[in-house]
Structure 1
Amino acid sequence: MSIHETVLIIGATSGIGAALARHIHAQNKTVIATGRRQDRLSSLASSHPGLQTASFDISDIATLPSNLSALATKYPAIDTVIINAGMQSFFKFSDADTPSPEEIAMEVTTNITAPMIACQSIVPFFLKQEKLCSFIFVGGGLGYIPLPYFPVYCPTKAALQSLAVSLRAQLSETNVSVTVVNPPWVATDLDAAFKDKLIEMLGGPEKAPPQMPLEEFVEEAMKELDSLGEDGKPKKDVGVGAFPVKVVETWRKSFDPFLEQFHVDG
């Protein structure tokens, strides 16, 4: 089991993060949902009595450590941290309206720099706990097989997988596990601004892969996270849907021998 009893979700104002918050709260676990949009958090809390919230911007890396420290002080029982916050831009570098350098930097900061700093802040807190604790990263199949339309998003998801392997190896002899959940193309607002164009570039409605309904994804992900791997430990990787399952299996078969060669339990 990767999800324990007191769960901090970073990036829970919409989509996958909000759905995870609802499902985990329904299991009578303590949920602290965070995000930038206070109105979304207030709505989530009002519709789910007992669900806790905190508003901050994960991309503000100057204040991120203090925000996380404050949460650890307020909720000392936190034993699971789900890092879900993410941005996804759709463009080509040759486009006339390509994102600004600041917008590219913001996407990188949100998707990978901030998760690194969050780990740096949370690891010492977890290691002091006399119980099992978990990091859960929301990755994606595009971190393994990039699409050219997402030239920032895909590299950051690949980096997130690398971060998880490194962190898992560092914590392999401790009370802390690290799991990456890899969703398929899920029906959320993440791609609302360019969904039609993406479908067109994927060959049209008849050729583009179907989106998985959000609730279906979360139910399948929760089943995987609630079960253990063949070694009796929390799973390192969770793939939901045919494409993520295949790429995760292929990655493991290809790279596990090299990790073992370097004595990396990642």
Structure 2
Amino acid sequence: MPIHETVLIIGATSGIGASLAHHIHGQNKTVIATGRRQDRLSSLASSHPGLQTACFDFSDISTLPPNLSALTEKFPAIDTVIINAGIQSFFKFTDAETPSPEDIAKEVTTNITAPMIACQSLVPFFMKQEKPCSFIFIGGGLGYIPLPFFPVYCPTKAALQSLAVSLRAQLNGTNISVAVVNPPWVATDIDVKFKDGMIEMLGGPEKVPPQMPLEEFVEAAMKELDSLGEDGKPKRDVGVGAFPVKVVETWRKSFGPFLEQFHVDG
């Protein structure tokens, strides 16, 4: 059961993160929600009595370690960290108007550099716990099958999957498990502004895959995380929806033997 009793959710002010906070809080677990928008955090806390919040910018890597250290000092029972924070930009490098170099760097920092630093900061804390602990990354099928109109987001999600495999292999035999949840195209605020562009680039609305309702996704993801794999251990890769399930299974079947060849239990 990778979602234990005291859960830190990084990136919980909207969409998947906010819904996870709602559902986990509903299981009478302690939830610490973080994000950049204090108004969203305040609203979340007011509607969920007992839910704790912390406002900081996950992409500010100079302040990330001390912010996380402050949280583990304040909430020493933290045993689950869900990393959901992310940026998704829709553009083509051939367009005259593309994100600035600073925007691209921030997307990379938020989506992969900051998760790496968070793991570096939190692994020693987890190792001292005399109980099971877990990292849960919110990945995505686009980390396996990149779409050309997300030229920064897709590579960072591929890197996140690679990070999870490496981290899991390093932590093999410890009290820490690592899982990646791979959503389908979920109906959230982040996707609204991309829908028209996707319809145009894919050649019509009939060619655009349907979006999974947010609550349906979160309920399915939590059910999968609460179940064990065939080996009786917490699941490593969680796919929700036909596309993520298929790509995760294909990746494991294709690359699993190579991981074994190099003695990588990831």
TM value normalised by structure 1: 0.99
Matched residue of 2:4: which SS?
A: coil
Amino acid paired to 1:116: M
Deviations 1:74-119 (A, max 9, x none): 0000000000000000111111001100000000000000000000
By how many angstroms is 1:143 displaced? 0.0
By how many angstroms is 1:194 displaced? 2.4
Deviations 1:35-55 (A, max 9, x none): 000000000000011111000
By how many angstroms is 1:197 displaced? 1.3
Paired residue for 1:2?
A: 2
Paired residue for 1:115?
A: 115
RMSD over aligned CA atoms reads 0.6
Amino acid paired to 1:56: F
Paired residue for 1:153?
A: 153
Amino acid paired to 2:196: D
Residue 218 in 1 paired to residue 218 in 2?
A: yes
Deviations 1:10-65 (A, max 9, x none): 00000000000000000000000000000000000000111110000000000000
TM value normalised by structure 2: 0.99
Residue 183 in 1 paired to residue 183 in 2?
A: yes
In 1, distance between residues paired with 2:32 and 2:245? 29
Give unpaired runs (5+ residues) of structure 1. Answer: none
Give unpaired runs (5+ residues) of structure 2. Answer: none
In 2, distance between residues paired with 1:128 and 1:21? 25
In 2, distance between residues paired with 1:174 and 1:194? 41
By how many angstroms is 1:205 displaced? 1.7
Paired residue for 2:20?
A: 20
In 2, distance between residues paired with 1:108 and 1:225? 27
Paired residue for 1:243?
A: 243
In 2, distance between residues paired with 1:122 and 1:231? 26
Residue 138 in 1 paired to residue 138 in 2?
A: yes
In 2, distance between residues paired with 1:203 and 1:52? 45
Matched residue of 1:8: which SS?
A: strand
By how many angstroms is 1:195 displaced? 1.7
Runs of 4 or more consecutive aligned structure 1 residues displaced over 4 Å after TM superposition: none
- The alignment covers a number of residue pairs equal to 266
Paired residue for 2:77?
A: 77
Paired residue for 1:227?
A: 227
Moved more, 202-211 or 164-173: 202-211
In 2, distance between residues paired with 1:50 and 1:113? 31
By how many angstroms is 1:217 displaced? 0.2
Paired residue for 1:200?
A: 200
In 2, distance between residues paired with 1:228 and 1:73? 31
By how many angstroms is 1:236 displaced? 0.4
By how many angstroms is 1:193 displaced? 2.3
Amino acid paired to 1:137: F
Amino acid paired to 1:74: K
In 1, distance between residues paired with 2:217 and 2:120? 29
Matched residue of 2:134: which SS?
A: strand
In 1, distance between residues paired with 2:207 and 2:100? 32
Amino acid paired to 1:262: F
By how many angstroms is 1:196 displaced? 1.2
In 1, distance between residues paired with 2:24 and 2:78? 14
In 1, distance between residues paired with 2:27 and 2:140? 25
In 2, distance between residues paired with 1:214 and 1:198? 19
